[in-house]
A and B are shown apart, each in its own frame.
Chain A
Amino acid sequence: MGEFDLLSSLPAIAPEIGLTILIFVAVLLDSFLHESQRKGIAYVAALGMAALAIVPIIPGWAPEPGPTGDYLFWGGMIRHDALAQIFRIMVLASGALTCLMAVDAKRVGNKGEFYTIVLVATLGASLLSASADLIMVFVALETLSIALYCLAAFKRNDSKSTESGMKYFLFGAFSSAIMLYGFSLLYGFTGQTNLYALAQFMGTEAFANNAVPVLAAMVMVIVGFGFKISAVPFHFWTPDVYEGAPTPVTAFLSVASKAASFAVMMRFFIAVFPNDLVIGDYVIQNFWVQFMAAAAVISMTLGNVIALSQKNIKRLLAYSSIAQAGYVLMGVAALQATTPLGAERAVASVGFYLFMYTFSNLLAFAVIILFSEATGSETIADLAGLNRRSPWLALTLTIALLSLAGVPPAAGFFGKFYLFTAAVEADLVWLAMIGVLNAIVGLYYYLVVIKVMYVDRSEDEDKPIPTSQTYRWVLGVATLAVIILGTVGAQVIFEWAVQGAGTLFALLPGVF
């Protein structure tokens, strides 16, 4: 272990320290500010998180191997590498935008507790993306999840919100329990909790005949992660929770929670079941890659097909997010690539996709919040005539939906492009084909929404949707991000992600 060096360990949790300070500030402000001023907490939290999101980009703050010679810090609890930084930026950005989006939401925006819990959830997600130890993974995951259960049920007197919180909690608790069982088996096999130490122990002679126990543990872990990323068949909660939860919470939960879970999932499988782990005659990697590929196919197809028949825009986005999880899983499956560069590009494609998905989805939800706060409706049919009511809103929602569908010049195009490329490079051509077919199905229902906004007429066409200054900023920033990621920024960010992915594999004994 060696002597603990506090100063060299602190940068590894810099965003978390900042978030902790913000949490204290938010709690204090909540108790000292008058009720009408509590919206101010949103700006404090959002600006704070935005500032923290910039920290990892500052040159000279790039993660460096710590005193132990690798990227592991705090006794191996977290791995402070460039990939973790990228996901932290996503999580912090979505936390900041969520806070701003919540400002005008009724019965949510004027409560300081809301922002405090969002901050804690962000903290959990941020640590989750860097976790490198079974204990840390679990605690961070629970920090994220329990905060989200509270947020989902935040509108206490709204029966849909309480139902959503309850469902999310029950499913979440159940899948956490299964995952914990898997963790305990892994710990039982090896006596180790550090992800990077597990593989070495499972590769030993004693385990030569025991592929089945390892696979059982793996399946249980997949259940836990599958729930968090809402991949089929662990997706049951998604539509109800998305529909019932306060919309800013839905936005946060659809991006931050998903991004952090994908980050830790990739880290987990690369570290615990690397491609050189052979037990008996079985290459363990083949198993999980097949799981991921299968889950990708089912999630994409089921999500897209059911989304076709949705009437409620939040449910539509819920099924769309199941489908999107399927696309991303394709990138995870592409980790079977046999060359280091291929695997790095697979990780990077996942990173890039989630990066653009964060902004696209937040943008879509921001418009929906505005619309439903103004009209009280969330059905797709009521979006009719949005172009005549508020042309800018209609345009931003269009951009968001096109990005989700994967149409240039929005960012989604490059996101899908990189994912499909990664899949092809990893000899998963059939998977890429299914992905393309699904993208076409997806395009249809996104276009239907756009058609309703631009072509259909409604009686309320003379009533514009009021948009506050805060929201204009949110929409502006998110739209800009989506456009930049879809045009000039795509290559830059992807290259950055590839570099980051390199550190995920760097200094690992024997992966490549």
Chain B
Amino acid sequence: MDVCSINNIARCLVNSGFDPALAQFITILLGVVVVASFPLVVVIFLIWVERKFAARIQDRIGPNRVGPYGLLQTVADAIKLIAKEDITPAGADRLVYNAAPIMAVMSVLLIWAVIPFSPIHVGVDLEIGALYFVAVASIATLAIMLAGWSSNNKYALLGAFRVVAQLVSYEVPLVFALLVPILFASSMSMQDIVHAQSGMWFFFMAPVAGLIFFISSQAETGRAPFDLLEAESEIVAGFNIEYSGMKFGLFFAGEFMHVLTNGVLMAVLFFGGWLGPLVEQAPIILGPLYLFAKSTFWYLLSLLIRNTVPRVRIDQLMDFNWKFLVPLSIVNFVVIAVLLRLCEALGIAPAAANANDFVANIPQTLVLLLGNAAIAAYVLNRLRRAGREQRLAEAGRTLAAVGEKAAVAH
């Protein structure tokens, strides 16, 4: 009789006299509860992290009253939100109005079902994990639009319109960037993608794709500099203007979880997920540890961007996506696909036997990296030229305006 642990709950239950089907059901239920509540619990802590982080950047101290270092501030906030009166505005579409916040949280939580925490711990290792992630994430758009419409408020509706424009647009480069790891791993299963990185993390083979993915997912969360859906100075609070109490809290929590989820996805897709030294020996401890260590980096980068980059205009937002990210992501994908095939044809690619060997992966990685560098160099050069032209044009316009003024004065 082996020791009961998290790895063999089902077997333990059967051994202690449960019906196998029931045991399996209980195991799955437990798994769902654990996987779904984990981000919900973590988010309480993350809100504190974010506030502290923002405070430091703005030369403040941040929450410091409730609990040690203000750690319990979020708990206090949550209690306050729950205790608040639940207001449904007049003329609101009640059913939809109440369903929207739930859907917003749901769409993020569902992503966690396919995220591998360790070699053996993953909600469901779906054959189509990556596609599932894209599909489920698209529900978030719907949730926000429903919220905007059902609130019966002009600002909310404007926010909803912006959501559709922004989130649907940014899904395109996101998916194209996502295709690159799928291409490397020849699989859409998240677990396979992680395994395929045991020789080399995909970020070193395709940094451009990684950055595109990061930028587009930042836009998908709707955070600064892409926070047009709730731009306070223009449309007050956007889609969630009418929401109060815990319903607002759900949107809020959903957004924070989404940022964390993006970090986790970056880690899984480009930074080897749970991979790390000795992980096979202690999967339950080291796997999640490595995964979250990697995610934290991207999470903090996201916070840094949020707190330092100003909000873009709506036309800049769309131009940036359709005229920059989308073409770039398509070109990047094609270049990588061609290079990959080329490596295979020239025999540079590591053989299947030593695909997990770091050294064997180096030549192919170098070729791909070179391709990426070429793309990046070209893009940066174009950007520099375009920027200079724009500056010159603006300078010219200003000079002309000054000249006109001078002429009028005369």
Q: Do chains A and B touch in the complex (CB under 8 A)?
A: no
